Structure 1
Amino acid sequence: MKLASQRDFLSGIMFTAVGITFAVGATNYEVGQAARMGPGYFPLMLGILLAILGALVTLQSFRKGGGDGDPVGAIAWRPLLFVIGANLAFGALLVGVPALGIPAFGLIVAIFALVIIASFARPGASFKEAVILSAILAVGSYFAFVYALNLQFPVWPAFFTR
């Protein structure tokens, strides 16, 4: 069998691996049954669904007439590093990292950091656009999570609330 699409093959393998990982991880929680779902039921079903879809995409990559090979290009390191770094910064700023001496800066500061850092993933990104988007996302997140859903987590830095 000849590979018709490298992109489909590699993305199918990735989806399958992530789906299996989530499905196996979900078994650490009580799964329950369809009528009485436990906390592991939903991630288990999504993991299984993702693994099945990944297998179908992988098999589809061998179909003839799927293209001229769709070669996978070079890894886009800049977006990869900035987006992963933005997510790590968000988590660290939201709840803090006591082992590193980083206090919790809260939701608003974490969202501003997330959006501004992630904006650097795009060449030619505008700092002004990132700040405006951060403000809109911060206000929307505050109303959605704190006001509407009444979730309890720090919104502002701890040294502001004392």
Structure 2
Amino acid sequence: MAIKSQRDLLAGMMFTIVGAAFAFGAREYNVGSVARMGPGYYPLLLGIILAAIGLLVALQSFGQQSDEEKIGPIAWRPLIFIIGANLAFGILIGGLPSLGFPAMGLIPAIAALVVLASLASTEFSLKRALSQSAILAAGSWLVFVKLLSLPFQLWPTAITG
């Protein structure tokens, strides 16, 4: 039996692996019952559903060979910049205390996230990236700090004292 769609096969495999990982990780928590759900119930249920959907998609990828184009090469630039942007956000917002790197706060972390993620595009514009980061930072401040009263550090302690 030939592979009809490489895209469907790879997407189905990805869904199955991610779903199985969530279901496997959920066993560390108390699952409970339908009437009294524990913290592991929802991740277990979603993991099983995602894995099942992944299996269905992967199985549908087999059949008669089609003229669908094959999956091209990996787009390394977007992959590196998007993953790097998320890593930079995590490091900037939380710091690396074991290495002596302090937390920089929410506003610089969002600015770095947006600018680095914008570099993934071939149509990068610094002006657009900075304006988007300002809008996202202001919205995050409004929602998380003002409306939800979450205790986020907004700026580096060197600035705020």
Same fold (TM over 0.5): yes
When the two chains are superposed, the root-mean-square deviation of aligned CA atoms in Å is 1.5
Alignment partners' CA distance in 1, 2:150 and 2:49:
30
Alignment partners' CA distance in 2, 1:60 and 1:25:
27
Q: Which ranges of structure 2 fall in alignment gaps of 5 or more residues?
A: none
Alignment partners' CA distance in 2, 1:153 and 1:40:
27
Alignment partners' CA distance in 1, 2:144 and 2:27:
28
- Partner-residue secondary structure (3-state), 1:38: coil
Deviation at residue 62 of structure 1 after TM alignment: 1.3
Alignment partners' CA distance in 1, 2:60 and 2:112:
40
- 1:14 aligned partner: 14
Alignment partners' CA distance in 1, 2:63 and 2:74:
25
- Partner-residue secondary structure (3-state), 2:124: coil
Alignment partners' CA distance in 1, 2:157 and 2:43:
33
1:109 maps to 2:108 = yes
Amino acid at match of 1:148: L
CA contact (8 A) 1:3 1:69 kept: no
Deviation at residue 60 of structure 1 after TM alignment: 1.3
Amino acid at match of 1:83: I
The TM-score with structure 2 as length reference comes to: 0.93
Change (3 A) 1:92 1:113: same
Amino acid at match of 2:7: R
Change (3 A) 1:142 1:101: same
Deviation at residue 58 of structure 1 after TM alignment: 0.4
- 1:92 aligned partner: 91
Amino acid at match of 1:113: A
- 2:44 aligned partner: 44
Q: Which ranges of structure 1 fall in alignment gaps of 5 or more residues?
A: none
Alignment partners' CA distance in 2, 1:124 and 1:84:
19
1:27 maps to 2:12 = no
**Structure 1 residues 13-35: Cα deviation after superposition (integer angstroms, max 9, x where no partner):** 01100110011111112222222
**Structure 1 residues 102-157: Cα deviation after superposition (integer angstroms, max 9, x where no partner):** 21011111000000001000012100000000011111111122222222232221
Alignment partners' CA distance in 1, 2:151 and 2:41:
25
The TM-score with structure 1 as length reference comes to: 0.92
- Partner-residue secondary structure (3-state), 1:46: helix
Change (3 A) 1:78 1:18: same
Amino acid at match of 1:116: V
- Partner-residue secondary structure (3-state), 2:24: helix
